[in-house]
Chains A and B, each alone.
Chain A
Amino acid sequence: MALLQIAEPGQSQAPHQHKLAIGIDLGTTHSLVATVQSGLPRVLPAEDGSVLLPSVVRYLADGSVVVGEAARQAASSDALNTLVSVKRFMGRGLEAADQLGDKLPYELVLHDNGMPYFNTVAGMKSPIEASAEILRVLRHRAETALGGDITGAVITVPAYFDEAQRQATKDAATLAGLKVLRLLNEPTAAAVAYGLDQAHEGIHAIYDLGGGTFDISILRLHQGVFEVLATGGDSALGGDDFDHAIARWIMADAGIANPDAELQRRLLQTSRRVKEALSSRESVSLSLAADTTGAPADWQATFTREHFESLIAARVDDTLKACRRALRDAGLKPADLTEVVLVGGSTRVPLVRRRVAEFFGKPALDHLDPDQVVAIGAAVQANILAGNKPDGDLLLLDVIPLSLGLETYGGLVEKIVPRNTTIPVARAQEFTTFKDGQTAMSLHVLQGEREMVNDCRSLARFELKGIPPMVAGAARIRVLFQVDADGLLSVSAEETTSGVRAEIVVKPSWGLQDDDILRLLRESQAAAVQDMQARSLAEARAEAERLWIATEAALAQQGDLLNANELAELENAVAGLKSLAARDDAAAINAAADALNHASETFAARRMDAGIRQAFTGKTLTDFEEH
């Protein structure tokens, strides 16, 4: 039918002077996206109104991917193909797998590049690819909500993420087609959200305990400058560990020895619910039927908050040790802090709140939603970096979380950039040859606080060749470490007497190589084209169906307004559209729909005339005013 197009209120779009920039909190348990509109940051909900996207990715046999709540619900029934807490695997090896008992919760394969891959029905998938699926959903959500292409995104990472983990996150964003304006440390993002909210000057501790990671950051806010004074934490400690503690207790108490992947998932989901319930209740009752668990008998138990707290106390103490270390690094005492802010869903656990308040000697602030505050802060920073606030008075000065260094003689690590150094930073150090006539030097870049190479994370190896032969100790090799604002490192080496140079951007030891990324990007673009085609076909069909149903209904009602020829033409057009709609050609369907619209113009005009006549017949003026 030739229908008038009327924009709904709120849909009409004023031209954008504003660039669309988003902040994404890519979390272990869930992820979310926020933006700044009309100067106010807000989180963007999905079409169903939900804000938190469960960070769960399910791969199906036909190659399609389900992300979010639907995937989460399949987490135990299809455990091997449903990836949860994938953030734990970013830039890490097999040790990141959260297994209960001897069995791995996934089929994991260690790839040549050092990353674990998940063996799913849709093929081998890296943690980076799975994270990209989550980011893609959030990007799509933002584009739908904001009605345009996204200029760029600020993606948050735990402050304690090392180089490999940061690079993996950046690669995932690239795969998802997002331009990364900045990788922002999560506690810093939270501080931005609180800082803006309160405009409080002073020194703040941000205690951020998420699903899989713990961060503590000490920041000073002074005249619009956020300066990170120290940061610390554990990139493998979070609420998931609390779930595991409960699950292990259930297994021990119910006599379950070696659960398969499905049962592991069910145990963890139950444990998670138990943990959440114990935030507001003193105890919960649990039961398991023998047949579903492989347990020797039906099992029933009461689990108290006190018991739960005894299971997790040591882990909570670990977080406080990290807090004390961060304070020491900043040269501060707990009493020096203006306030303590709680971030991350796991700070809802009462023991955590109590111990943090005791340690810092003051009640912790939590008036912003701990699940949303990081995304909000990221959105604020994205808005500034996209150029929407050219005179933005807010400046973030971040630090590197772990020391960077080089291997020296005897397997020792020489630190070049110590942890908690403000970035961006460049540091140079001179080394020399130890053999007469030595013409090459091998450089091994490491990250970590320990003295020995084996206890630190290996980031990259490269060689400086072509050093002119000299006596031992005569060559001057200047090694320069450059860390950019995202915390990413490049290293160059130069023999200063001859000018021989070599350099490397650190990333290859772990994670995807550039050509992997290009290949995956091409694949995902091909997939995106397919997705788009599928979507436009579905839309064309839906529109065609709506059109022929409306036309047939109108013909049934008022077909008498047309003569036989006109009627036949219209019925032909309907039949043509119906037959085309069965085929997979969106363009043909749309053309047939246009033809039907065109054919029905006369009919529409006559119906409108008739309608007006009818409307005026037998009605008084008062009726109209009331309508």
Chain B
Amino acid sequence: MDLNTNYFQLFGLPVSFSLDAAALQPMWRSLQQQWHPDRFAQDDAAAQRHALQMISRINAAYDTLREPVRRASYMLELVGRGSEAERVSVMDTDFLMAQMELRESLEEAEALHELDAIEAEAQDWLNALLREFPLDYAAEDWPEATDCLRKMQFMSRLLAEIREQRERLEDELDDF
């Protein structure tokens, strides 16, 4: 194994969007057992540096593969389409409208049950995109796959904002 293998190869997996996130974990642990710098505490500086590079890459791979939106982005990078997602803007007006409405209701949400509804809708959108991406990818339809990734990124950012809003609300409402 060297530093040039891709993230999927590191984990002994084929490049594929559908993977069992739970199955990654045992593999990650065994890679940790093998490459963690603590295992090289008594070795020379070169071995330690190599271990640090390896484990850094293994951890980056784990974080990328287990999270579907990052996994999709990485898969486009592997086929040389990674930077396109940054530049292409989403043109789908239905999606943009839906996204804006969700954001507006998030800003106005003052109760946890309102957040629940917004989160469920955003999650539905994301789930649909997660089903579409592997189809676009398999068809090598890069513009569609890139567009799909952009939408996923929108939605996952929105979901993160919903979580932050939930934290703020819970901290405010809760008097313990």
Contact = CB atoms under 8 A, between A and B. Distances in A.
> How big is chain A's contact interface, by range?
20 to 34
B167 A328 contact: yes
A484 interface: yes
Interface in A357-385: 359, 384-385
A236 interface: no
A425 B53 CA distance: 8
A328 B162 CA distance: 13
A385 B41 contact: yes
Contacts of B63: 421-422, 425
A225 B41 contact: no
B159 interface: no
A430 B33 CA distance: 31
A287 to B, nearest CB: 35
A472 interface: no
Interface of B: 29, 32-33, 36-39, 41-42, 52-53, 55-57, 59-60, 62-63, 83, 163, 167, 170-171, 174-176
B56 A387 contact: no
A453 interface: no
Given A385-B41, A387-B41, A421 B32 contact: no
A321 interface: yes
A181 B41 contact: yes
A320 B175 CA distance: 11
A472 B127 CA distance: 37
11 contacts: A223-B29, A317-B175, A395-B38, A395-B39, A422-B63, A424-B59, A425-B59, A430-B83, A484-B52, A485-B37, A485-B38
A546 interface: no
Q: Would you list the 6 A-B pairs with minimal beta carbon distance, nearest first?
A: A426-B56, A387-B42, A385-B41, A425-B59, A317-B176, A485-B37
A441 interface: no
A51 interface: no
Contact of B62 (A321, A355, A422, A423): A422
Contacts of A421: 59, 63
Interface in A424-471: 424-427, 430
A397 interface: yes
A223 B25 CA distance: 12
A395 B171 CA distance: 35
A384 B37 CA distance: 12
Nearest to A483: B56
A136 interface: no
Nearest to A392: B38
Contacts of A425: 56, 59-60, 63
A387 B38 CA distance: 10
Given A424-B55, A426-B57, A225 B38 contact: no
Contacts of A427: 60
A324 interface: yes
A353 interface: no
A608 to B, nearest CB: 52
A269 interface: no
A397 B176 contact: no
Nearest to B87: A473
A103 interface: no
Contacts of B83: 430
Nearest to B176: A317
Contacts of A272: none
Contact of B32 (A325, A387, A397, A484): A397
A174 interface: no
B38 to A, nearest CB: 6
A395 B51 CA distance: 15
A397 B41 CA distance: 15
A482 interface: yes
A426 B56 CA distance: 5
Residue from A223, A359, A384, A485 with most neighbouring chain B CB atoms (10 Å): A485
Contacts of A385: 38, 41
Contact of A328 (B32, B36, B60, B163): B163
Contacts of A97: none
B49 to A, nearest CB: 10
A484 B41 CA distance: 13
Interface string A215-238: 000000011010100000000000
A443 to B, nearest CB: 19
B149 to A, nearest CB: 16
Contacts of A484: 37, 52
A397 B167 contact: no
A396 interface: yes
Contacts of A384: 38, 41
Contacts of B60: 425-427
Given A424-B56, A485-B37, A395 B32 contact: yes
A397 B37 CA distance: 10
Nearest to A396: B38
Contacts of B170: 324
Given A325-B167, A396-B38, A425-B63, 16 more contacts: A182-B38, A222-B29, A223-B29, A225-B32, A225-B33, A321-B171, A328-B163, A384-B38, A384-B41, A386-B41, A397-B32, A421-B63, A422-B62, A425-B60, A426-B53, A426-B56
